[in-house]
Structure 1
């Protein structure tokens, strides 16, 4: 059997640029409370624009990266049982994990009229998104596709994603999120980026991380960002999805 590399080769990219973009992503968590309210026209436009961008990112950029990672894993671990499938199973695990936490929170902390503002539900939401934000920060330094432009596109999509799910947390948890939650998420993003800067992981582990984040992204995008028809605006959604897709396809 051929020897398998223990670590994946880091994409040729600027650590300085990735660090600056990690700070930018963390800043989104801190500044989201100042964005237009979701019920306003500008807020609805921003929500729909972000939703379109996130959906385009998933289907045009992220899923091909997952497929590329799976193909590399298949080549590196040829003949080893389920090596390639683990990348896609990690994506499924991301969906299942976030859905499971949401169901648990709804069933255990959604009574007596407190619902969304209960401490238990707040802890579950902020805790899960803390891990999620840290992984997204980490992946700034471990991209399947090389180049500064790819990093910027990743940051743009994740920034709009952060903006929209943070607005959802702010709507549900109000003062608790504005007081502590946003700082926790910002810190987690920077911590994940810091760990990504100084560590390397195997190609299989990187593929599984990409898969898990993609699963969480798909679930949270369709749960939080794709608005109900009554609140959504189709034109901003279309603009976000088309413009982002065109830019990605032209690079």
Structure 2
């Protein structure tokens, strides 16, 4: 399993480094392939991510004895909500900065300061995805491959979004940092195994981030997505997850 997870982490690295060369990313209306990828990501959220979030919530509720924390029922869902709110805040910050740069400096990108804040948040996000290759809920090679497929197509579209926001600095610096973050997360997972309570919290943060980023990238109206390709990707990946 260690070799398998290493190869999948390397696959994530390759996606960050080479997705820029995919010719169909800028197409409007969106290519059928990207619309299908959107369906896969949405299926992953609803068929796999949310049920797993419920399992982690049960673990956290069972283990936390503090009366102060017991006031907050559904702890992991609260963490996921905070993760979603955090990434939403990041997106608003980037859009505001990009608009300001256009008005004041005639630049079609966010400021460098915002770039570093934004890329740091995604560095941690990618590191967590790499860590969960080893310590997530995937207990078989089939489960790991399904995890990889869902997040690989998600990375392709999120890379495109980051490139649109930050332009050449993303290709020059950002994509290398995100590629390294995934492998760094995997490497940390090789030497550190944290308590299941911490895994539950980390998974909640990841879930919130994935939900926001999937919906933001895969379902925007201006992309003019192909519904039937989206539905085909959704249905096919749902069947794969249910058979796994």
- TM-score normalised according to structure 1 size: 0.87
The Cα offsets for residues 170-203 of structure 1, whole Å up to 9 and x where unpaired, read as 2232321111111110001110111012111111
**C-alpha root-mean-square deviation of aligned residues, in Å?**
2.1
- Counterpart check, 1:181 vs 2:174: yes
Equivalent residues in 2 for 1:59-208, closer than 5 Å: 59-77=46-64, 81-82=69-70, 85-108=74-97, 110-113=99-102, 114-208=107-201
Is 1:57 aligned to 2:44, yes or no?
yes
Give the equivalent residue in structure 2 for 1:220. 213
Structure 2 stretches lacking a partner, 5+ long: none
Are 2:28 and 1:38 aligned? Answer: no
Whole-angstrom CA distance in 1 between matches of 2:130 and 2:97:
30
The answer (yes or no) to whether the contact 2:87–2:209 under 8 Å persists in 1 is: yes
Q: Does 1:18 align with 2:18?
A: no
Contact 2:84 2:209 (8 Å CA) reproduced: yes
Q: How much does 1:235 deviate?
A: 1.6
The number of aligned residues is 238
For 1:203 and 1:76, locate their aligned partners in 2 and report how far apart those are by CA, in whole Å: 9
Q: Does structure 1 conserve the Cα–Cα contact (< 8 Å) formed by 2:76 and 2:204?
A: yes
Change (3 A) 1:89 1:50: same
What TM-score do you get using the length of structure 2 for normalisation?
0.89
Q: Distance in 1 between matches of 2:10 and 2:125?
A: 16
Distance 2:23 2:29 in 1: 6
Match of 1:28 in 2: 15
Q: Alpha-carbon deviation of 1:123?
A: 2.2
Of residues 82-91 and 154-163 in structure 1, the stretch that sits farther from structure 2 once superposed is: 82-91
* Local SS of the residue matching 1:36: coil
Deviation per residue, 1:114-144 (Å, 9 max, x gap): 3534323322332221111111111111122
The alpha carbon displacement at 1:224 in A equals 1.7
| CA distance, structure 2, for counterparts of residue 117 and residue 199 of structure 1 | 36
Shift of 1:68: 1.2
Q: Output the CA distance in 2 between the equivalents of 1:233 and 1:86.
A: 37
